[in-house]
Amino acid sequence: MSVFKGRRVIDQIRGRSYEETLMILELMPYRACYPILKLVYSAAANASHNMNLKETDLFISEAKVNKSSFIKKLRPRARGRSYGIKSPTCHITIVLKEKSKFLLDKSKI
């Protein structure tokens, strides 16, 4: 997926709670929402399984989309020639934090 398509979706969910993020991603009409939805599900499952955090207390503290390399393919054209196709790819990073710990850290500052 292109970086611009991914950022259009990521900008909508940054800073929101986990449950609100799921509702937004399921209702948005973009094709980029499905891979991001799978990534958010996976991050929440990792947080609940590895860190023993509740999914209801999670929110998206950091979400970013970075540019990656191009996938290069060749398309056959007339007279035995070929035409290159460049498909852009991206790296998506989502960091979930617990609300109560985040509020405690802010109060110390």
Give pLDDT, residue 99. 84
Distance between CA atoms of 21 and 107, rounded to whole angstroms?
Answer: 25
Under a CB-based contact definition with an 8 Å cutoff, are residues 5 and 54 in contact? no
CA distances from 46 to 66, 92, 95 (A): 22, 16, 11
User: DSSP assignment, residue 51?
Assistant: S
Under a CB-based contact definition with an 8 Å cutoff, are residues 90 and 2 in contact? yes
Distance between CA atoms of 53 and 82, rounded to whole angstroms?
Answer: 53
Report mean pLDDT in 10-residue bins for the chain, 109 residues: 94 93 95 95 93 90 94 94 94 90 56
Distance between CA atoms of 24 and 35, rounded to whole angstroms?
Answer: 14
Give pLDDT, residue 92. 95
Give pLDDT, residue 67. 95
Give pLDDT, residue 105. 56
Give pLDDT, residue 100. 76
Question: Into how many domains does the chain fold?
Answer: 1
CATH code for the domain of 82: 3.90.470.10
Whole-structure pTM value = 0.83
What's the domain range around 15? 3-107
